[in-house]
Structure 1
Amino acid sequence: ALSGDVSGAMTYGLESARILAELRYSRQDEEEADGEGHRLLVAAGVDPAGMMGFFETFKEEPGTAPTLPPYLSTHPTTKGRIERLRSLEPFPRSINNRLLPGLDWHAVRGICGGTGPLHP
């Protein structure tokens, strides 16, 4: 019976190690995607500040964040993502292309907010 307990514990331990390794890769993938998104925006002449603003909307109030240890998380912390984006190459202020030039942003906001020409 003791050998069954040991092999079960060993199997559980190995499976746990595999899961933790996958979570680490998920966080790395997210960090790489954030960096690549930033790079693509800068290459297109679009200020990536909106990317940081997007993540700011997800920041938790102090004391309300989940208490999971970082190694159990599938994503980097929101705070960490913002800090990393801020550490990347600054955007040259001499260039500032609009992401969608000519678009009526007032109409877009209305559509998203349930008001405007498509919402009576």
Structure 2
Amino acid sequence: MGQNQNLLIVDDESALCWVLGQFFASAGYRVDSAQALDEALGLMTTGRYDLVISDLRLSGTQSEEGLMLADFVRRYAPDTRVVLLTAFATQEISDRARELGVDLVLPKPQPLPALAQHVSELLMASR
């Protein structure tokens, strides 16, 4: 599982980026992480990712950078799967996320084994 697949983890909490990074790296994935939208977009333009896990809100305000990132990913890298994590999951956000091509919206905090299961299932299913 996870052989040579590239993940991008985007969250403004560095501790969470680190934990997710360690977890997925130990499962055999190659992992990059970013803590801000511009940093994530920079990585997306220079690298190739099989799946992006992003928090909805990256600057702690009411912002929704996760949706902006998803929109960019869909246009720039249509084969990349997108998982959005949010503590503020509403039907409206889920609907908007789906319209932007987000594969999955998950509540935060998400248990690591459950998240890993979602990730491997999305990577096995071709877009």
* TM-score interval, smaller chain: under 0.3
- Which structure has the greater CA radius of gyration? 1
Richer in strand (by share): 2
TM-score between both structures, scaled by the size of structure 2: 0.24
Q: Which has the higher contact order (CA 8 A, sep 6+)?
A: 1
Richer in helix (by share): 1
